[in-house]
Amino acid sequence: MSTISGTTAAATIGATRKAGILFAWFTALMIGTACLYLGTIAFAERVAPAMRVYSYPEGRCTIHFIRPLIPWRHNSMGSTPRYIIVFSFTIHTASNQDYQIVGAGMNSTIVTNNDEVQNIVNNYHQNGVYPCWYNPSDPSRVVLYRSMPMLSFIWCSSFVALGLLIMSKSLAHIISGTSSIIQAVIQVYISNKRIKKRKSRIH
> pLDDT for 52-86, tens place per residue?
888 899 999 898 887 777 655 555 545 555 667 77
d(CA 66, CA 63): 8
At residue 2, the pLDDT reads 47
- Among 102, 126, 145, the domain boundary falls at 145
Q: In the structure, what pLDDT confidence band is assigned to residue 4 with cuts at 50, 70 and 90?
A: very low
Name the residue with higher pLDDT: 125 or 2: 125
Residue 144 in 3-state DSSP?
A: coil
Does residue 141 share a domain with residue 59?
A: yes
Query: How many domains would you assign to the chain?
Result: 2
Does residue 74 share a domain with residue 107?
A: yes
Cβ contacts of 26 within 8 Å, gap of 6 or more: 170, 174
Question: For residue range 167-178, what is the model confidence (pLDDT) as tens digits?
Answer: 999 888 878 777
- Among 127, 145, 163, the domain boundary falls at 145
List alpha helices for the chain, DSSP H: 2-42, 48-53, 114-123, 150-202
Domain that holds residue 115: 55-145
Does residue 100 share a domain with residue 76?
A: yes
d(CA 113, CA 102): 23
Q: In the structure, what pLDDT confidence band is assigned to residue 187 with cuts at 50, 70 and 90?
A: low
Question: For residue range 106-160, what is the model confidence (pLDDT) as tens digits?
Answer: 444 555 567 777 777 788 888 889 888 888 888 878 887 777 778 888 888 999 9
Does residue 35 share a domain with residue 19?
A: yes
